[in-house]
Amino acid sequence: MAMEIVYRVKRFDGEKSYYQEYSIPYEKDRTILWGLIKIRDEIDPTLSFRSACRSAICGSCAIRVNSNALLACKTSLDKQLALYQTNILTLEPLANFPVIRDLVVDWENKFKHMTEVKPWLIGEKDCPGGTGYYRQSPDEFLEISNPTDCILCGCCVSECTQHTNLRDEFYEPFIFTKSWRFTADSRDNSPKAHLLPVLNEGGLWKCVRCQQCITKCPKGVRPADHISRLRCSSMNYGFTDNLGTRHAQAFAEYIQKTGRLNEVTLPLKTEGIFRTLKRIPFALRLLRKGKLRPLYFPSPIQGIEGIRKIYNRLRKEEKK
Amino acid sequence: MLTYDVVIVGGGGAGMRAALEAARDKSLQVAVFSKTYPTRSHTGAAQGGINGAFAFKDPTDSIEKHFKDTVKGSDFLGDQNAIDFFVNECPECILELERMGVPFSRDEFGRIAQRPFGGASSPRTCYSADKTGHVILHTLYEQCLKHGVKFYNEWFLLELVVDKGRFQGLIVQNMHDGCIHPVNTKSVVIATGGFGRIYWNRTTNALNMTGDGTAACFNAGIPLKDPEFVQFHPTGLAGTGILMSEASRGEGGYLINKNGERFMSRYAPEKMELGPRDLVSRAIETEIREGRGVGGNGNFYVLLDLRHLGKKKILERLPQIRELAIDFENLDPIEHPIPIRPSCHYMMGGIHVSDHTTCSTPVPGIHAAGECACVSIHGANRLGGNSLADVIVFGKAAGKGACLSAKELSSGAEPILLKRTAYWEEKFRTMREKGHGLKVAEVRDRLAATMWNNVGIFRTEKEMEKALSEVEELLQEYNSCYIGDSSTKYNSAFIQYVETGNLLNLAKAVALAAIARKESRGCHARDDYPTRDDANFLKHSTVTKIGDEYKLSYIPVTITKYQPEERRY
Ligand SMILES: Cc1cc2nc3c(=O)[nH]c(=O)nc-3n(C[C@H](O)[C@H](O)[C@H](O)COP(=O)(O)OP(=O)(O)OC[C@H]3O[C@@H](n4cnc5c(N)ncnc54)[C@H](O)[C@@H]3O)c2cc1C
Ligand code: FES
């Protein structure tokens, strides 16, 4: 049976954008990129998209298919058709990037952000005078192995809920990964230099841990984990005078005490009395809808001893 | 007019290494033009590693052994003075990378880890799992950001302007808005990579490896050296040509034919799967020819078996290879052998470099480094891990060389640069307006078919003549191509049109030099002349383009301390 598949492509010519449908005959074991190339070679040479290595390493070909960012070269057409139970796929440029033409997006600004975290080794710790080489143990290498898998494809940027929401107040996820890559490098002599920009400019504590960056990364890189590690690092360096740290500490405190949160007093601990006052209208709305119990002071849950043991154990490990 | 002292064309390993070197001289204005964002360059696809004789893994290794391996690997066509320079520079250049921050895999002493590679008498290939090129490329980019190197990303080199033997500058197109600009510069480093795409789909190369810089030099009258030497990598995925790194053999993978036999025992009884690439590729094709290939329906291959390495080793040392096999062949190497077949991988030949210490070409001010250049250290066959090393060593030398040139030479003449700009503007306009003709992709596909079928792994006069006349026909037909895109913005159809033209010009030189070399040497394997003929062919071919004429001549090979002998593994 000669099945047709349809690529519904979001086009942009510099002024207007519109959707255009292309039908191509189905072939087994092909990739999304195969279809794009086929359209460009055989149907419409004006269709613009990027691709180079066609083996998931150069990061050129990231696009959105049915609103999910992916690498066109690595993604099986069959699997996408099966996933959506359809023969029509909608292809769009990555979100959160300016579009140049069709599926081609502009990266210049992202590289500027990247430069802010000083993505280079600040060193000379063990190789004085810039000769010889640094020793690094296989374990220390493993620490930076995952973050150095990043191919700068932009999938995480496109799908990050908080970057979509806050734009300039929250860095693109891969930039946290870059920052962590150097903060964690045993050879680096100035980890703070990579960490402070994400803390001050990048919105380190604003990540809502939705895990989209991890889910969407085609290379298994884990930006959200790197954000967590950066948060820990920042606290270890003593940068604790901020909402994020207080919030995290309050969380930890509650759980140790009772095994559950108290949402009435949590904002007080995190934000202090003045900011919390500002939240009163919101609290009243919650109250009206029955979402808040003002007089509720939770008693410890069953098995709280177990939780406290975990805490003690962690503290001991930390001291070591 | 854009004016610089030193311009680098190409943002891959060689280009960025050159840029870093040139940027050290603060008195010079330096810029990099690249048709992709630098981190998209094909250097990133290099998986296996980079050679340097540190003797970490094997205390008996030495610079001397690296020298001998490289000379022997080149089938004695490499220039020994250049190879000597190269092997001596490799270790320090790799340490520089390490100090820049390249995350190398480590041994238990915290030193850079090394693995065995084909054609090497000791394990000397430094690596970062199987993503060595990727981490080098990204580190170089980060270093360029650190040093404030000026990048023109997605700017395409159209032409090198040389007038009466004097370099004037270049003509480039900003792909984003289509504007064509002259660039006035005193010196240039061409670092635009290889041109494996003359075989279109039967290559491990990226879609845009079309040899634009090589073609620009060729058009500007600089000879192409040894273009007939095309390396076919033994282990491309059978379906797509995507590379399974040599690390897969280095780590102990087996090659198996349809009878389940490790057939390399017949071709390289000592080295087995770790024979050099040319030999292993021919062995695989011979197995297939003689009916011992797996598969059917004209689609034959052999199997790369990693299963005995075990899950742990595969996950630790070859994670990317595993992922590629899963994504592109739907097979997990932990459980299944992988179908593979040789694919075009690397161009030993390229822009004629006449002085390896500065990477200069016969035209003062024009330097070349990386895969686009032919120094020649790889001769008739490159060893795995020697190309990344080449890119770093000679990228650095070219950066230095270009600075020296910039101090000696004056700027180009603006009138001629403006004239050539006008020529390209006119060409871009007519191509955008042209409504019908031949499809560029069709010409490209026919070129690839004839090159694969007739100038492939095994070659004969008759077949190559056929290819030559077909390429000549295609060069004619190319004139009637149309691009079908009238936009000025990101007009990739126009770019592909120019790239295809470049491929045609280069393919013709490949065929021409291959026909004339009536011997078998390295990866140039002729059925009609099956042995090496040092008496007549221990020399470099050069092809020079004068107008539309191609002139073939030869220059001597430099032999210093290692006299040619039979090449056995
Ligand atoms: C799949 C694969 C795996 C490999 N693995 C290894 C390995 O393990 N070890 C090893 O030593 N070697 C390996 N090689 C070979 C090695 O990677 C390459 O030869 C080397 O990286 C080439 O580097 P380069 O800087 O010369 O070119 P590239 O990295 O290809 O860069 C070329 C640059 O030029 C730019 N450019 C091209 N044309 C134009 C134009 N018209 N205008 C402007 N800019 C232009 C491109 O955008 C790009 O930035 C491998 C090759 C392949 C294909
Ligand atoms: S084409 Fe390189 S990542 Fe897809």
| Same-domain pairing of B273 and B294 | yes
Q: Structural domain of residue B496, as residue ranges?
A: 416-530
Residues B303, B245 within the same domain: yes
pLDDT at residue A305 is higher than 60 = yes
Average pLDDT, chain A: 92
**Do the beta carbons of residue B420 and residue B172 sit within 8 Å?**
no
Say which residues have a Cβ less than 8 Å from residue B94's Cβ, sequence separation at least 6. Answer: B50, B52, B54, B112, B126, B389, B392
Model confidence pLDDT, tens digit, residues A133-174 = 889 999 999 999 999 999 999 999 999 999 999 998 999 999
List the structure tokens of A236: 């270890």
Interface subset of B 109-138, CB within 8 angstroms of A: 109-113, 128-129, 131, 134-135, 138
For residues B169 and B207, membership in a common domain is answered with: yes
**CA-based nearest residue in chain A for residue B144:** A120
A140 close contact with B: CB closer than 8 A: yes
Inside any domain, residue B321? yes
| Portion of chain B with pLDDT greater than 70, in percent | 100
A:201-260 residues touching chain B, CB 8 A cutoff: none
- Beta pairing partners, B358: none
Q: Distance between alpha carbon A273 and the CA centroid of its chain, in Å?
A: 32
Does B492 sit within 8 Å of A135, measured CB to CB?
Answer: no
Tokens of A99: 């579009």
CB count within 10 Å of CB B287 equals 25
Scanning every residue of chain B, which has its alpha carbon at the shortest distance from the alpha carbon of A189?
A: B101
Instruction: Label residue B241 by pLDDT band (50, 70, 90).
Output: confident
pLDDT in tens, B448-496: 999 999 999 999 999 999 999 999 999 999 999 999 999 999 999 999 9
Least confident of A203-217, B99-113, B231-245, B365-379: B231-245
pTM: 0.95
Main-chain phi, psi angles of B465, to 5 degrees: -60, -40
Coil, helix or strand for A297?
Answer: coil
Whether the predicted pLDDT of A127 surpasses 60? no
- Residue to test with chain A: of B204, B489, B497, most A Cβ within 10 A: B489
Q: What is the mean pLDDT of residues A239-245?
A: 91
Residues in Cβ contact with A35 at an 8 Å cutoff, skipping those fewer than 6 apart: A5, A7, A24, A77
From B146, B330, B484, residue closest to A120, measured CB to CB: B146
Answer whether A120 sits within 8 Å of B328, measured CB to CB: no
Residue A304 CB less than 6 A away from ligand 2: no
> Which residue among B412, B437, B461 closes a domain?
B412
CA distances from A275 to A165, A201, A270, A271 (A): 22, 21, 9, 6
The answer to whether residues B261 and B222 belong to one domain is: no
Is B567 domain-assigned? Answer: no
Q: How many helices (H) and strands (E) does chain A have?
A: 14, 7
Work out the pLDDT band at A1, boundaries 50, 70, 90.
very low
Query: Which chain A residues touch B331 with a CB distance below 8 Å?
Result: none
Model pLDDT, residue A289: 87
Q: Is B204 in the pocket of ligand 1 (CB under 6 A)?
A: yes
Q: According to the model, what pLDDT value does residue A284 have?
A: 86
Question: Rounded CA gap, A67 and A158, in Å?
Answer: 9
**For residues A27-45, average pLDDT:** 95
B433 and B518, same structural domain?
Answer: yes
B435 and B402 within one domain? no
Assign residue B486 the CATH number of its domain.
1.20.58.100
The structure tokens listed for A167 are 């734009």
Residue B298 pLDDT exceeds 60:
yes
Tell me: do B196 and B306 sit in the same domain. Answer: no
Q: Which of A32, A54, A76 to mutate to test the pocket of ligand 2 (most atoms within 8 A of CB)?
A: A54
Distance separating alpha carbons of residues B320 and B310, to the nearest angstrom: 15
Spatial CB neighbours of A9, under 8 Å, sequence gap ≥ 6: A19, A20, A21, A22, A39, A47, A90, A91, A92, A102, A103
Residue A125: pLDDT over 80: no
Same domain, B32 and B146: yes
Cα A19 to its chain centre, rounded Å, is 28
Residue pair B224/B214 in contact by the 8 Å Cβ criterion: yes
Say yes or no: B322 and B248 in one domain. yes
**Is B81 domain-assigned?**
no
Q: Give the model's confidence band at A128: pLDDT under 50 very low, under 70 low, under 90 confident, else very high.
A: low
Whether A126 shows a pLDDT value over 60: the answer reads: no
What is the per-residue pLDDT for B296? 83
Q: Which two tokens stand for residue B30?
A: 């330096």
Separation CA A64–CA A69 (nearest Å): 4
* β-sheet bridge partners, residue B294: B301
Other Cβ atoms less than 10 A from the Cβ of A28: the count is 6
The answer to whether the CB atoms of A100 and B41 lie below 8 A apart is no
Answer yes or no: is the C-beta of B250 below 6 A from any ligand 1 atom.
no
Q: Which residue stretches of B24-107 are H helix?
A: 63-73, 80-100
CA distance A180 to chain B (A): 14
Closest CA to B275 of B118, B381, B117, B73: B118
Compute the distance from residue B105 Cα to the ligand 2 centre, in Å. Answer: 24
Q: What is the CATH number of the domain that holds B161?
A: 3.50.50.60
DSSP string, A167-188: GGGS--HHHHHHHHHHHT-TT-
B29 Cβ neighbours under 8 A, 6+ residues apart: B3, B4, B5, B6
Q: Where are the alpha helices (DSSP H) in A71-190?
A: 77-84, 108-116, 138-145, 155-159, 161-166, 173-183
Last residue of a domain, one of B324, B342, B360: B342
- pLDDT score of A129 more than 70: no
Cα of B247 vs its chain's centroid, Å = 18
Chain B residues 401-440 with a CB less than 8 Å from chain A:
439-440
Most confident of A237-251, B328-342, B416-430: B416-430
B147 and B204 share a domain?
A: yes
Domain boundary among B342, B369, B396: B342
Query: A57–B134: do the CB atoms touch at under 8 Å?
Result: yes
Q: Indicate whether B320 pLDDT > 90.
A: no
Measured in Å, residue A138 CA sits from the centre of ligand 2 at 29
φ, ψ of residue B171 to 5 degrees: the values are -115, 125
In a domain, B203, yes or no: yes
Asked if residue B65 is part of any domain, the answer here is: no
Distance between CA atoms of A5 and A12, rounded to whole angstroms?
22
Q: Helix, strand, or coil here: A47?
A: coil
* pLDDT for the residue A2: 65
Taking the centre of ligand 2 as the mean of its atom positions, its distance from the CA of residue A54, in whole angstroms, is 4
Q: What is the mean pLDDT of chain B?
A: 96
When pLDDT is cut at 50, 70 and 90, the band that residue B533 belongs to is very high
**How far is it, in rounded angstroms, from Cα B100 to Cα B106?**
16
The total of other beta-carbon atoms located within 10 Å of residue A131's CB is 10
Chain B residues touching A137 at Cβ < 8 A = 106, 108, 110
Is residue B43 within 8 Å of B13, Cβ to Cβ? yes
Chain B environment of A106 (Cβ under 8 Å) = 176
Nearest CA-CA distance, residue B442 and chain A, Å: 8
With contact defined as beta carbons under 8 Å apart, do B384 and B132 qualify?
A: no
| Total count of domains within chain B | 3
3-state secondary structure of B342: strand
Residue B108 resides in a domain = no
For residue B415, the tally of other CB atoms under 10 A from its CB is 10
Instruction: Identify the CATH number of the domain in which residue B238 sits.
Output: 3.90.700.10
- In-domain check, residue B164: yes
% of chain B surpassing 90 pLDDT = 91
Highest mean pLDDT (candidates A115-129, B8-22, B305-319): B8-22
CB contact under 8 A, A114 and B39: no
Residues of A (5-64) whose Cβ lies below 8 Å from B: 13-14, 29, 31, 40-42, 44-46, 48, 50-60
Contact A29 B39 (CB under 8 A): no
Least confident of A179-183, A266-270, B396-400, B415-419: A266-270
Looking at chain B from residue 21 to 60, which residues have their Cβ under 8 Å from any Cβ of chain A? 36-37, 39-42, 44-45
DSSP secondary structure string for all residues of B110-146: SSBPEE--TT-SS--EE-STT-HHHHHHHHHHHHHHH
In this structure, are B197 and B222 located in the same domain?
A: yes
CA–CA separation, B500 vs B437, rounded Å? 15
In angstroms, the separation between the Cα of residue B451 and the nearest Cα of chain A is 20
Residues in B touching A93 (Cβ below 8 Å): none
Is B68 inside any structural domain?
no
Question: Which residues of B are identified as catalytic?
Answer: 277
CA of B147 to the centre of ligand 1 (A): 22
Helix, strand, coil share (%) of chain B residues, nearest 5:
40, 20, 40
How many other β-carbons are positioned within 10 Å of the β-carbon of residue A270?
19
The chain B residue lying nearest A124, using CA atoms, is B99
Which value does ipTM take for this structure? 0.94
User: Average pLDDT of B420-430?
Assistant: 98
Residues B206 and B292 in one domain: no
B351 in Cβ contact with B368 (< 8 Å) = yes
Measured distance CA(B568)–CA(B214) in Å, rounded: 33
